[in-house]
Amino acid sequence: MKNAFRTIWNRSTPGLFVTTCVMILVVLFIFIYPILSPVNPLAQDVANAFAPVGTPGHVLGTDNLGRDTFARLVVGLRTEIIVCASGTLLAALIGTLIGILAAYFRGLADLLLMRVVDVVLAFPNLVFAMLIVSLYGAGDLTVVAVCAIAFFPSFARLTYGEVLSLRQALYVESAELFGGTRWQIIRGPLLRGVGPLVLAQGFLTLAFAVGLESGLSFLGLGITPPRPSLGLMIATGQQYFMQSPWQLLIPSIVLVALLVSLGYVADWVRDLLDPRGVTRRRRPGRASVAQRPTSIVGQGVNA
């Protein structure tokens, strides 16, 4: 355990490590708080509408219907993460499968699968999402489908390029020479080779998915009310900005912090799991063993 922690610390800058730990604690909090808290985020108290920040019983005040802002913020964050993480996971599965199959089998599989990816990339994400929502209606499942379809091309192209280079690796050629079937090679060395990159891309894509879902909810095309979400809270706060500016500022600040934190976590995961070596050094002049290229191939990659 001590060696594992030391490896994680050496492969991370202090800022990335601290940000990731804080992010983990925040995620745990937003999943535990709704279970333990007696405050109902949907309960309305119009007589207590627009209560200021710091009101007893309402740390962040209340909105136009007297609903507790802090409780709605926590539940909205939880909903946002669940929906967007589900869409990102589905996009990663579809994109990784398409990229591996197209790069490994080549030929007709490459032509058909990657052309599908190119077609999806031709549409802007927001326009594509609005088209799907207008056809099937707003809701959690629609947002998950939108995120999966909008973001699987990034995983497909990433996996496609990585598998093309891995096909020439000695351990893949050795597996083929020793009688390994195509599916065994795909499930073994190829999947292990692209795994770290897909995981890092997953956290980065999760940030884009949160931004897309917030934009849809802001337009009334995402998570349906009265369930809270950051986009809905920002849209409501914009309408009542003069009465209570904090109803707009608080969810906006939280959304920006969430997007930035997810970007930092993606960098941390990439540095931690990158098999080709760390691109950042925690202390200049004191490169660890993991930071030194171990072969001519590694020197070429790091260069």
Tokens found for residue 130:
């609005």
d(CA 264, CA 18): 10
For residue 5, pLDDT over 90 is answered with no
> Tell me, what's the pLDDT at 292?
39
Helix (H, G, I), strand (E, B) or coil at 84: helix
Confidence of residue 16 (pLDDT cuts 50, 70, 90): low
Tens of pLDDT, residue by residue over 104-146, are 887 787 788 888 888 888 888 888 888 888 888 888 899 999 9
Tokens found for residue 52:
């200021």
Confidence of residue 293 (pLDDT cuts 50, 70, 90): very low
pTM value > 0.85: no
Q: DSSP alpha helices (H): ranges in 137-245?
A: 140-166, 170-177, 182-185, 191-218, 230-239
Weakest-pLDDT range from 7-11, 144-148, 266-270, 293-297: 293-297
Confidence of residue 274 (pLDDT cuts 50, 70, 90): low
Weakest-pLDDT range from 156-160, 191-195, 222-226, 282-286: 282-286
Cα-only R_g, the chain: 23
Percent of the chain scored above 90 by pLDDT? 24
The residue type found at 156 is A
Confidence of residue 175 (pLDDT cuts 50, 70, 90): low
Tokens found for residue 173:
């050629």
